[in-house]
Amino acid sequence: MTVAQPPHETTLLGRDLGEESYLTDGTTLMSWLGTTDHKRIAILYAVGITFFFFLGGAAATLIRLELISPAGRMLTNDEYNRTFTLHGIIMVWFFLVPSIPTTMGNFVLPMCIGAREVAFPRINLFSWYLFVVGGLLTFFALLFGGVDTGWTFYTPFSTNYSNSNVLLAAAGIFVTGFSSIATGINFITTIHMLRAKGMTWMRLPLFAWAMYAVSLVMVLATPVLAITLLLVFVERAFGLPIFDPRFGGDPILFQHLFWFYSHPAVYIMVLPAMGVVSEVIACEARRRVFGYEFMVYAMLMIAVVGFMVWGHHMFVSGESQFANLVFSFLSFVIAVPSAIKVFNWTGTLYRGQIRFSAPMLYALGFVGLFTIGGLTGLFLASVPLDIDLTDTYFVVAHFHYIMVGGSVSAFFAGLHFWWPKITGRLYPERFAQFAAITMFFGFNFTFFPQFILGIEGMPRRYHLYPQQFQALNVTSSLGAVVLAFAYLFPLFYLAWSLFRGERAPNNPWDATGLEWQTRSPPPTRNFDFDPDVRAAPYGYHPEHNAPHEVSQTHEPQTP
Amino acid sequence: MLPIAASTYAPRIDLLFWLMVAISGAIILLVTTLLVWFSFKYRRGTKAKRGALMTRFTREVEITWTVATFFTFVFLFWWGASVLVATVPIPRHAMEIHVVAKQWMWKVEHPDGQREIDALHLPLGVPIKLVMTSQDVIHSFFVPAFRVKQDVLPGRYTELNFTPDKVGTFPLYCAEYCGTDHSRMTGGVVVMTPGAYARWSQAQPQGDSLADRGKRLFTQLGCAGCHVNSETVDAPDLFGIYGKPQPMTGGGFKLADESYLRDSIMLPKQDVVAGYAPIMPSYQGVASEEDVVELIAYLKQSGGSTSR
C-alpha cells in the first residue's frame, strides 16, 4: 500500500511528527480537548490514568515505608487510614478499571476490527470528561481532608461514623461510573455494528473479545455501584435510614450491593489483561492461540458467572451457611475457565518460535503471577479456609497478584506492544526488557511475604502490628523499593522514545491484526484502504510465511 | 507458618490448608515447568519440530484439561464444605459468653457476671459459644490460634463456637476495619486449666449473674409495668417464650431467639405478636447493648411465668 507523502509538519512542541497521521491532524490544545478521534481520546485517557497510577503508587510507597516499623513512626492512625483508602480508591476506580479499556481499548479495538471510528465518538469524548470531573472530585476529597473508610465504604461506618469526605469521594466515583458505562456501550455497539467486511465473530482477535466481555460487565454492573453509592450518599447527607440498624436497616445489605458490583469489577480489571496477553503471546511465539474458541467461551463464561459469586466476600459477615456453600461452589466453578486460559497460553508456546521481547516478558510474567493469584483465590473460595484467611494479608497478597501481578503486567505488555503503533516510535528494547524482569522480581519480593504474613494471622488495614510480623513487613517494604523503581523506569525511557525514539515501521512485530496493516502512527481515519478480512486471527505458522502472508487481510494458505 | 493450633477445630483446617497448598503447588509447578521448558525448547532459532497440530488433538487436549480441572476443583469444594458442615451444629451444653464490641474495645460478659475488657478467659476443653453484637460499626472477632473469625454486627447477634484445647494466651484481633484505632482493637484470649479457671473466676469482683442483673433492669426500665400483671396495658407475658415460635400479626411465626428478643426491645414495631397492639416504645438509646444482653439472659433463665 503506497501512500502519498505530504510535507512534514511540526507540532506545538516544535518537533517533527513525520508523515500525516492522527497526531498531525490538528496540533492545538483545543484540537485535543475537543477531539472525537478514538485514538486521541485514548491518549487523553492515558494521561489521566498515568497521573492516577503514580498518585496511587506514591500512597503505596508511603504505606510500605510506614509499615517498616510496627509502631508506625511517621503517620498517625488517621493519616495511615486515609493513605490506604486513597491508594485503594485511586488504584481501583481511576487506574485499574479504566486502564486497558480506555487506553488500548479505545485505541486498538476499532482498528483491530477494521473500523474507522467507535460507534459514538462524541459519547466517547464525553466519557473522558466524566472521568476527569469524577477524578477531580475524588482527588480533592482524598487529598484535602481525606477519606478513612477504605475503598469498600462499609456501612454503618461510612454513613454514620466516619469523620471524613465520604460524600465528595462517593460523588466522584458515582460520576466516574458513568464514564465506564459510556465506554462499555460504545464498545458493544462498535463490535456489533462496525466490523470490517469479512470480520466474522470467530475471526475477532481475542483482544476484541475481551473488550466485548468486559463491556458487558461494565454496562451491567456499574449501575449497581451507582445506586449503592447514591444510597450511602442520601443516608449520610440527609439521614434517610437505609442501612442504619437503629432504624431497622441492614448494614449487610450494603455489602451485598457493593460486592454485586465489586466482584464483577475484578473481572473488569482482569478480562482486558487476558485479551492483551493473548495477542502478545500469539505474536511473540509465532503461533495460533491454542484453543481459540475455548478462549472465547472462557471469557464469556467468566463475564457471566462473575455475577454470581459476590457472596464469597462475605463468608464471615453472618451470611447463612447455605448461602456460603452455594457461593463457595460457584467460586470454584469460575476458577475453571481461568485455569483453561492459563493452560491455553502455555499451550500456545508449544512448537512456537519464541522471541523474548519486552511485551513477551511482561506477558509470561502475567501468566505466572495470575496463576498464583488464581490458585490462592481457591483458598479463599473454600469457606473454612476463608474464615481463617479473610481480612488478613493473605487476601491483600492474593488480589495484588491478580491486579498488580496480573493486570498491571498486562498493561505494560500492551503498552510496549502497541507503543510503536500509537506513537510511531520504537522504544529502547534492552531497557524495556530490564524493566520487565525487575518488575517481576520486585513484585514477588513485595507481595509473596504478604501471603505468609496473612497465614500467620496479621490482619489487613493495621497501622500498628505485633513485633512478630516485622521481619516479613520489612522484606515486603524492601521489595516495594525495587518495584517502585521498576514502575518509574519506563516513564523515563518511554518519554525519551516519544521524542527521540527511532521511527517505527508499520508492523514491527510482523503481527497479523488489522491494526498492524495500517501506518504507524495511523491516519485519522485509521486505514488508507478498506479492510477486507479473509482469515482467522493469528495465522502465524507455518513458520516460513512472509509477514504479509499472515495478516488477517491475506487469503489463508493451505499448508 | 500457620500459628499454633489451639482449638479442636484447628487441625482440620490445617489439613485442608496443606492439601490446598499441595494441589496448588503442583499446578504452579506444572505450569512453570511447561512455561520454562517450552520457552527454552521453542525459543527462536532452535531446530525443534514445529509442524501444525491436528484440530482433533487440540480439541481432545482442551476437553481433557477442562474436565480434569473441574473435578479437581469440585473435590476441593467438597472437602472444604464437609469441614464446614461438621462445625455447624453447636453443642447444647456450650458455655455461653457475651461479647459487645465498640470502637475500639472488646467487652466480655460471662454468664456468672464477671466482666472483662480486651481479654477473654476460658476453661480448657469446654465448648464455647460466643454471642456477639456491636454498639456502633462492624467489627470482627478473630483469633488466629483457633482459626475462627466472625463479624460482629450492630443491631444483630452473631455466634461463634469453638473448643479451646491448649493452655496459653492467644492474640485476639479486630479483623474488620472499624476506624481510627482499628489496629489497637486487640486483646488476648487466655485458656486455663479448669482448676485455674475456677480460681480466676472466684477472684473476680463478685457481681450478680447476668440474669440477676437482667431481673433488676426488668423492673428499673419499666418492662415489668406492662409485661407483668398489668391492669391497664395488654402486653404479652414474656417468661418462657425463649426458643419458642411466636405468632405474628399478619400471619406466620418467628422463633424467639436472641436476635428476635433484641429486635423486640430496640425495634418493637418490626415484629408484633398476634393479638397485641403495637404500643411498645423503642428502648433505643435507653437500654445499652449490655443491658439488652442482661435482659435477654433473664428472660432465658426464667422458664416459668410470673404473670397472673
Domain chopping of chain B, boundaries? 10-43+51-86, 95-203, 210-301
Phi, psi (degrees; rounded to nearest 5) at B186 = -125, 170
Smallest CA-to-CA distance from A475 within A452, A503, A506, A505 is with A452
Q: In what order do the strands lie in the sheet with B105-109?
A: B115-117, B105-109, B95-102, B128-134, B158-162
Query: Tens-of-pLDDT digits for all 559 residues of chain A?
Result: 444 444 444 444 445 556 789 999 888 999 999 999 999 999 999 999 999 999 999 999 999 999 999 998 899 999 999 999 999 999 999 999 999 999 999 999 999 999 999 999 999 999 999 999 999 999 999 999 999 999 999 999 999 999 999 999 999 999 999 999 999 999 999 999 999 999 999 999 999 999 999 999 999 999 999 999 999 999 999 999 899 988 888 999 999 999 999 999 999 999 999 999 999 999 999 999 999 999 999 999 999 999 999 999 999 998 889 999 999 999 999 999 999 999 999 999 998 999 999 999 999 999 999 999 999 999 999 999 999 999 999 999 999 999 999 999 999 999 999 999 999 999 999 999 999 999 999 999 999 999 999 999 999 999 999 999 999 999 999 999 999 999 999 999 999 999 999 999 999 999 999 999 999 899 999 999 999 998 889 988 766 666 667 788 877 765 4
Task: Please tell me chain B's helix, strand, coil percentages from 3-state DSSP, rounded to the nearest 5.
Answer: 40, 25, 40
How far apart, in whole angstroms, are the C-alpha atoms of residue B292 and residue B290?
5
CATH of the domain at A141: 1.20.210.10
Compute chain B's Rg from CA coordinates.
27
Greater model confidence, A133 or B51: A133
Q: Which of A163, A164, A280, A350 to mutate to test the interface with B (most CBs of B within 10 A)?
A: A350
Cα of A467 vs its chain's centroid, Å? 36
Helix (H) or strand (E) holding B130: strand B128-134
| pLDDT greater than 80 at residue B206 | no
Contacts of B174 in chain A (CB under 8 A): 459
Q: Interior CA angle at A465 toward A464 and A467, to 5°?
A: 130
Cα of A34 vs its chain's centroid, Å? 26
Q: Do B88 and A321 touch (CB under 8 A)?
A: yes
Cα of A5 vs its chain's centroid, Å? 37
How far apart, in whole angstroms, are the C-alpha atoms of residue A267 and residue A259?
12
Q: Is A468 on the interface with B (CB under 8 A)?
A: no
| pLDDT greater than 50 at residue B73 | yes
Expressed as residue numbers, the domain containing A435 is 35-517
Smallest CA-to-CA distance from A526 within A191, A101, A114 is with A114
List C-alpha distances in Å: A344 to A295, A350, A500: 8, 10, 38
Cβ burial, residue B271 (10 Å; 0-12/13-18/19+) = middle
- Quote the cell numbers at residue B20: 490446598
Q: Which of A157, A370, A510 to mutate to test the interface with B (most CBs of B within 10 A)?
A: A157
Contacts of B148 in chain A (CB under 8 A): 387-388
Q: Is A291 on the interface with B (CB under 8 A)?
A: yes
Q: Please check whether the domain covering B95-203 is classified as CATH 3.90.320.10.
A: no
Of B24, B42, B151, the CB nearest to A375: B24
C-beta separation of A206 from A279 below 8 A:
yes
Cα of A90 vs its chain's centroid, Å? 13
The residue of chain B nearest to residue A382, with distances taken between CA atoms, is B80
Which ranges in A306-403 belong to alpha helices (H)? 321-349, 358-381, 383-389, 393-400
Number of independent structural domains in chain A: 1
How far apart, in whole angstroms, are the C-alpha atoms of residue B40 and residue B34?
10
The residue of chain B nearest to residue A450, with distances taken between CA atoms, is B1
Q: Do A388 and B148 touch (CB under 8 A)?
A: yes
C-beta separation of B298 from B215 below 8 A:
yes
Contacts of B142 in chain A (CB under 8 A): 391, 457, 459
Of B44, B138, B178, the CB nearest to A251: B138
Count how many pairs of residues, chain A against chain B, have C-beta atoms within 8 Å: 248
How far apart, in whole angstroms, are the C-alpha atoms of residue A488 and residue A472?
24
How far apart, in whole angstroms, are the C-alpha atoms of residue A557 and residue A174?
51
Q: Do B69 and A559 touch (CB under 8 A)?
A: no
- Quote the cell numbers at residue B302: 426464667
C-beta separation of A519 from A454 below 8 A:
no
Smallest CA-to-CA distance from A104 within A346, A272, A291, A277 is with A272
For residue B198, the distance in angstroms to the closest alpha carbon of chain A comes to 30
| pLDDT greater than 60 at residue B240 | yes
Contacts of A340 in chain B (CB under 8 A): 62, 65-66, 69
Q: Do B155 and A332 touch (CB under 8 A)?
A: no
Smallest CA-to-CA distance from B246 within B270, B230, B229, B225 is with B270
- Quote the cell numbers at residue B106: 472488646
Contacts of A391 in chain B (CB under 8 A): 140, 142, 149, 175-176
How far apart, in whole angstroms, are the C-alpha atoms of residue B95 and residue B93?
6
Q: Do A154 and B138 touch (CB under 8 A)?
A: yes
Residue A86 belongs to a domain:
yes
| pLDDT greater than 70 at residue B308 | no
Of B42, B81, B266, the CB nearest to A353: B42
Q: Do A378 and B184 touch (CB under 8 A)?
A: no
Residue B262 confidence (pLDDT) = 87
Contacts of A245 in chain B (CB under 8 A): 153-156
Residue A559 confidence (pLDDT) = 46
Residue A543 belongs to a domain:
no
Q: Do A246 and B155 touch (CB under 8 A)?
A: yes
What residues 117-136 of chain A have any CB closer than 8 A to a CB of chain B? none
Which tens digit of pLDDT belongs to each residue from B243-259? 888 888 888 888 888 88
Q: Which of B41, B76, B151 to mutate to test the interface with A (most CBs of A within 10 A)?
A: B151
Q: Do B140 and A316 touch (CB under 8 A)?
A: yes
**What pTM does this model have?**
0.92
Residue A18 confidence (pLDDT) = 61
List C-alpha distances in Å: A184 to A40, A53, A108, A218: 18, 22, 15, 6
- Quote the cell numbers at residue B267: 425495634
Q: Do B284 and A246 touch (CB under 8 A)?
A: yes
> How is domain B210-301 classified at the architecture level of CATH?
Orthogonal Bundle (1.10)
Q: Do A316 and B149 touch (CB under 8 A)?
A: yes
Three-state SS at A531:
coil
Q: Which residues of A92-117 are buried (b: 16+ CB within 10 A; e: fewer)?
A: bbbbbbbbbbbbbbbbbbbbbbbbbb
Helix/strand/coil (H, E, C) string of A290-316? CCHHHHHHHHHHHHHHHHHCHHHHCCC
| pLDDT greater than 90 at residue B242 | no
Q: Do B182 and A371 touch (CB under 8 A)?
A: no
Of A78, A318, A390, the CB nearest to B153: A318
| pLDDT greater than 50 at residue B81 | yes
Residue A13 confidence (pLDDT) = 46
| pLDDT greater than 90 at residue B285 | no
Q: Do B76 and A354 touch (CB under 8 A)?
A: no
Residue A457 belongs to a domain:
yes
| pLDDT greater than 80 at residue B55 | no
Residues 6+ apart with CB under 8 A from A448: A397
Residue A410 belongs to a domain:
yes
What residues 426-465 of chain A have any CB closer than 8 A to a CB of chain B? 452, 455-457, 459-465
Of B16, B69, B183, the CB nearest to A384: B16
ipTM summary value: 0.90
For residue B139, the distance in angstroms to the closest alpha carbon of chain A comes to 10
Q: Do B39 and A356 touch (CB under 8 A)?
A: yes
Q: How many CA atoms lie within 13 A of B127 on its CB side?
A: 12
Smallest CA-to-CA distance from B225 within B262, B186, B176, B279 is with B279
Q: Which residues of B90-103 are buried (b: 16+ CB within 10 A; e: fewer)?
A: eeeebbbbbbbbbb
- Quote the cell numbers at residue B215: 431481673
Residue A483 confidence (pLDDT) = 96
C-beta separation of A39 from A107 below 8 A:
yes
Average pLDDT, chain B: 89
Q: Do A456 and B144 touch (CB under 8 A)?
A: yes
What is the longest distance spanned by two Cα atoms in chain B?
101
How far apart, in whole angstroms, are the C-alpha atoms of residue A153 and residue A173?
12
Residues 6+ apart with CB under 8 A from A510: A283, A547, A550
The residue of chain B nearest to residue A80, with distances taken between CA atoms, is B180
For residue B45, how many other CB atoms are within 10 A of its CB? 9
For residue B276, the distance in angstroms to the closest alpha carbon of chain A comes to 20
For residue A121, the distance in angstroms to the closest alpha carbon of chain B comes to 40
Q: How many CA atoms lie within 13 A of B13 on its CB side?
A: 28
Residue A197 confidence (pLDDT) = 93
Residue A124 belongs to a domain:
yes
Residue B307 confidence (pLDDT) = 39
Of A148, A356, A388, the CB nearest to B179: A148
Contacts of A317 in chain B (CB under 8 A): 151, 153
How far apart, in whole angstroms, are the C-alpha atoms of residue A307 and residue B113?
47
